[in-house]
Structure 1
Amino acid sequence: MKYSLRQLEIFVAISRTASVSRAAEELSLSQSATSTALGEFEKQFDLQLFDRVSKSLRINEVGQQLLPRAVELLDRAKEIEALLQGHISFGHMKIGATLTVGNYLVTILVARFLQSHPNSRIQLQVHNTSAIVQKIANHELDLGMIEGDCDHPDIEVQPWLADELVVFSAPDHPLASLRKVTTEQLLLESWILREKGSGTRETFNRAFHNYNARLNIRLELEHTEAIKLAVESGLGIGCISRLALKDAFKRGSLVPLATPQLDLSRYFCFLWHKQKYQTTAMREFLTLCKDLTAGVKRSDLVNLPEVA
């Protein structure tokens, strides 16, 4: 065999970071050693895996074909090494989650997983949907859990849990006393919403697809807690997951508005690269998530943390 696992590891690190220096730092190598290893790897097979553009590296078509195969081989090699060393843990797993899923649901599931497998390690990254999709596509994450849509051709999408958004306001807002709020009434209000690129915003835009041009979007924020505070202060009304609002509704600091004309339903989904090797850790974690949420209805999702 003309190549080593170390060469593949360096290639994958450079692919993920698009930088020799950042890859070197990630692998605890010197920049010169990393650069030399890449050069020798390419020279062995008389090909280039990256296009050199100014001072940056851009993975080329040959590199793109190699990347998923290299990642799969490295994942398998790590499992073999753990088995030979007699380790019973599942090693290190990188999970990405969107804001609602990550802050209000996945942390509970990760905690349960680590309780069952105390020697395992999980790195949880929380970003919006577009960022998670990009990181899965670039093999920077093993598994993604999102609340938005994904139609990336290289990514496998598996629906998981039903969820719904809720339009809400401060308890003293004029709409709070109404039994039903019409779309026309909503179009007269100032809105505090999640940023574009988030799954929550995608679902909201879909519900208002005939009226987006008429919406008065006063403020866009990247965090649900900031949106809740802004709505509580009277800046406008908001629309986020019922899961993120359960405590505020219990306290009475925020109230739901009845909007039967709007379809604000959606699904939480699992994501992984179609060419990603599913490690034992991935399979075990997916099974745990499905088992702990089996039979949970959309209306009962807010009670899941207490059940789990």
Structure 2
Amino acid sequence: MDQSLLVFVTVAEKENFTRAAEELHMTQPAVSQYIQTLERMVGAKLLERSNKYVRLNKAGEIVYHHAKEILGLYTRMQCLVDDLLHTASGNLSIGASYTYGEYVLPHIIAHLREQYPLIKPTITIGNTREIAKLVASHQLDIGIVEGDFKHEKLYIESFAEDHMFVIISANHRYANRKELRISELCEETWIVREEGSGTREATEKMFAKFQFQPHSIMEFGSTQIIKESVEAGLGITLLSHWAVRKEISLGTLKALKINGIPVSRKFSLIMQATQFHTKATEVFLDILRKNEALPDLIRLSRE
């Protein structure tokens, strides 16, 4: 691995030569030397420096973006070679969109760690668009996203189904209605996720399916905030049954019965399109595909 790339990325992220030197267990002059070597190699200054900060300039941003990809590829190569001689172990970087990442993935990880304690997973949570970008740039080994996701450079595989319901507060005036028409909810305030979210995509598809357009929409960037807002009576929403199973069991939220709902969508895994995967990735994929941890979740949702 080109040590100068690692040093440069560390300086860029720490925004300080001294902090970068501490992180890398190097002297500050050594860090400066690596940066100068890299700048000579690319033929351009990469950093703006002052007494208060160190920041990337335009050339630095280009080099930083590609350096992250190169370092990710090197780490992956080393893991693949190490796997030839060892059992499943090492780091596994997983990204997931909010619904799966916050409400299902922790149970999958617990199952993984029970069977393969030498695997060290790290989890990144973001919306579908953000996770796909990180996988495409080699910063994540695998991503899990929601909805009908497409990407020309990534391998995509649907592995589980999700059901989404219209969710209201237990104190809502429709809480005791046995059945409703979607048209009766036109005057309600709908609370939706941000653009780029799989949940937002599913909500918009539901609106289009029923040729339905709410008079009032509020956009929040977190499923948890949406749940709290619905509980408080601020509006109604469309959410996965995984996201609201606890609140429904506690009686603070209710799922409405509406003809044509629940809405179904897929959870999909996304990866680089390659035949080479670390053993840690392979065993994680095997658990996902077999849905080995989901029976426990289904049981919990019914308790």
Task: Tell me what 1:250 maps to.
Answer: 249
1:303 and 2:298 are equivalent in the alignment: yes
Partner of 1:176: 175
Match for residue 95 of structure 1?
A: 94
Q: Which amino acid aligns with 1:80?
A: V
Cα deviation 1:213-253 (Å, max 9, x = unaligned): 54411x43333333222222222212110111222222222
TM (norm. structure 1) is: 0.76
Task: Tell me the distance in 2 between the aligned counterparts of 1:16 and 1:160.
Answer: 38
How much identity, in percent, do the aligned residues show?
A: 27
Work out the CA distance in 2 between the residues paired with 1:182 and 1:124: 40
Deviations 1:81-119 (A, max 9, x none): 5766xx545111111112211121111111111111222
Alignment partner, residue 216 of structure 2 = 216
Q: Tell me the equivalent position of 1:37.
A: 34
Could you say what secondary structure the match of 1:172 adopts? coil
Structure 2: stretches of 5+ with no match in the other structure: 49-54
CA distance in 2, matches of 1:10, 1:80: 20
Q: Structure 2 matches for 1:53-68, cutoff 5 A?
A: 55-56=55-56, 57-59=60-62, 64=66
Q: Which amino acid aligns with 1:291?
A: K
Give the Å deviation of 1:161. 0.5
Distance in 1, matches of 2:27 and 2:147, equals: 40
- CA change 1:108–1:181 in 2 (3 A) is same
Q: C-alpha displacement at 1:130, in angstroms? A: 2.1
Cα offset, 1:304, TM superposition:
6.1
Instruction: State which drifts further: 7-16 or 244-253.
Output: 7-16
Alpha-carbon separation, structure 2, partners of 1:291 and 1:255: 30
> Counterpart of 1:292?
291
Q: Which residue of 2 aligns with 1:273?
A: 272
Which stretch of structure 1 is more off in the superposition, 224-233 or 138-147? 224-233
Summarize the alignment of residues 98-177 of structure 1 with structure 2, pairs less than 5 Å apart: 98-177=97-176
How far apart, in 1, do the equivalents of 2:277 and 2:29 lie? 33
Q: State the Cα distance separating 1:155 from its structure 2 match.
A: 2.4
Structure 1 equivalent of residue 3 of structure 2 = 7
Q: Compared with structure 1, are the counterparts of its residues 256 and 51 closer, same or farther at alpha carbon in structure 2 (3 Å cutoff)?
A: farther
3-state DSSP class of the match of 2:118? coil
Q: Distance in 2 between matches of 1:109 and 1:9?
A: 34
Distance 1:18 1:150, change over 3 A: farther
Secondary structure of the 1:222 match is: coil
C-alpha change, 1:290 and 1:130, in structure 2 (3 Å) is same
> Cα RMSD (Å) of the superposition?
3.8
SS of the aligned residue for 2:123 comes to strand
2: CA distance, partners of 1:215 / 1:104: 30
Q: Deviations over 1:115-159 (max 9, x none)?
A: 112222111122222221222222221111122443333322211
Aligned to 2:51: none
Q: Normalized against structure 2, the TM-score is what?
A: 0.78
The residue correspondences of 1:64-79 to structure 2 (distance < 5 A) are 64=66, 71-79=72-80
Whether the 8 Å CA contact 1:15–1:59 is kept in 2: the answer is: no
